[in-house]
Amino acid sequence: MSAGYTESAGRIGSMDQFRGYTVAGMFLVNFLGHFNAIPPILKHHNTYCSYADTIMPQFFFAVGFALRLVLVRRPSYRKAVRRCLALILTGVVAYHLDGDYRRWQDLASLGPLGVAAASFWRSPFQALVHIGLTSLWILPVAAGPAAKRIAWAAASGLLHFALSAWFWYDLLHARRVIDGGPLGFLTWTVPAIAGTFAYDWVRGADPIRRMAMWGAVLMAAGYGLSCLNGGGRLVPPPFFPPAHPPDIWTMSQRAGSLSYLVFSAGFSFAAYALFVWLVDRRNVRLELFSVLGQNALAAYLIHMWVSAAVEPFGPKDSPLWWALSLFAVFFGLTFLFVRYLNRHGMFLRL
């Protein structure tokens, strides 16, 4: 085992801190992203990978890590399937279905099949639903050998690319899907499978070197794929605006593009390696990350409700000082709610 590695009560300190950092990062970019005064790196653009776009893949990385931890210890696939379905249902309820029917005639004219066909393109396919579907998709290999997991991730990514080249890339933009839409699970598989390897390595020798090395390899591979944009020209690196019109190779969270998720899987490895060094080697912990990381699902749902209460007081053209003030209120309230739940032993698990 790695020096300083600890695992107690089913929790790994470095992963709790990493998950807490990811939740805090989500609060930051989700709340501040719509203000004009905020720097572009904290916003989603769908034409290049900003800092904001690195956050969601880290949730999938953490999910893959946790899924392998659970299945290696106590293989219970029926229970895992139930949890995934419960998470999908929670997401559908939280995000709602597409459609706003003002008259009965509008609803009746579509019929049951028409309503079903029109309801699942955009709104339902956000973080929780994507995580549930992706977890179901990788379940057959999550506890399997390394070669099988690599093959599954590669096949999923290539299938997504083939479907995108055939019809999906044009359709997802026409439908303005969120985070890859109904086929997004194919490429969200990449950071999720990466997380299963992080679990293996953090329990073995020299995990920091392994994760740093493979993080660099995947980030370079993701950037290399994005350079195929427009016929193989060098493009600006991640975190910088594009110099060419976007296409199927562009790093895009909306498209769930292969280049974006390969790069983000590598970025997740690098970020988690830092937490392994800080937490497992140096025993450095932040209470903020501990609170959020141990009750991430509750934090996610609470942040949606608190944001809905605070955001109406923040017009897009607000000055920077006002945007930051509202963010402090939003973040503080959300943190207090989550800490209260933690202190009273109320952890939301599915």
pLDDT in tens, 277-301: 999 999 999 999 999 999 999 999 9
Assess if residue 145 is contained within a domain.
yes
Quote the pLDDT of residue 10.
55
State whether residue 16 is helix, strand or coil: helix
User: 35 and 28 in contact (C-beta within 8 Å)?
Assistant: no
Assess if residue 34 is contained within a domain.
yes
With 70 as the cut, is the pLDDT of residue 221 above it?
Answer: yes
**How many domains are there within the chain?**
1
Measured between alpha carbons, how far is 51 from 237 in angstroms, rounded to an integer?
A: 12
Measured between alpha carbons, how far is 279 from 347 in angstroms, rounded to an integer?
A: 22
Assess if residue 71 is contained within a domain.
yes
pLDDT in tens, 124-140: 999 999 999 999 999 99
Tally of residues, the chain: 350
Start-to-end CA span in the chain (Å): 29
Give percent of the chain with pLDDT exceeding 90: 84
Q: Which helix (H) or strand (E) holds 11?
A: strand 11-12
Assess if residue 1 is contained within a domain.
no
pTM above 0.75, yes or no: yes
Assess if residue 279 is contained within a domain.
yes
Measured between alpha carbons, how far is 77 from 84 in angstroms, rounded to an integer?
A: 10
Assess if residue 348 is contained within a domain.
no
Round the average pLDDT of the chain to a whole number and report it.
94
Quote the pLDDT of residue 76.
86
Measured between alpha carbons, how far is 135 from 79 in angstroms, rounded to an integer?
A: 12
What would the mean pLDDT of 139-163 be, rounded to a whole number? 97
| 195 token code pair | 């997380």
With 70 as the cut, is the pLDDT of residue 2 above it?
Answer: no
| CB contact set of 328 (below 8 Å; sequence gap of 6+) | none
With 90 as the cut, is the pLDDT of residue 335 above it?
Answer: yes
Assess if residue 159 is contained within a domain.
yes
Give percent of the chain with pLDDT exceeding 70: 97
With 60 as the cut, is the pLDDT of residue 1 above it?
Answer: no
Measured between alpha carbons, how far is 185 from 163 in angstroms, rounded to an integer?
A: 13
Q: 309 vs 116, which has greater pLDDT? A: 309
Domain of 209, in residue numbers: 7-343
Assess if residue 349 is contained within a domain.
no
- Tell me the C-alpha to C-alpha distance, in Å, between residue 193 and each of 97, 149, 226, 281: 29, 7, 21, 25
With 70 as the cut, is the pLDDT of residue 7 above it?
Answer: no
213 φ/ψ angles, rounded to the nearest 5 degrees: -65, -50
User: 14 and 61 in contact (C-beta within 8 Å)?
Assistant: no
pLDDT in tens, 250-280: 999 999 999 999 999 999 999 999 999 999 9
Measured between alpha carbons, how far is 127 from 138 in angstroms, rounded to an integer?
A: 16
Measured between alpha carbons, how far is 160 from 164 in angstroms, rounded to an integer?
A: 6
Quote the pLDDT of residue 101.
87
Measured between alpha carbons, how far is 259 from 324 in angstroms, rounded to an integer?
A: 33
What would the mean pLDDT of 184-212 be, rounded to a whole number? 97
User: 209 and 215 in contact (C-beta within 8 Å)?
Assistant: no
Let me know how many helices (H) and strands (E) the chain has, helices first. Answer: 13, 2
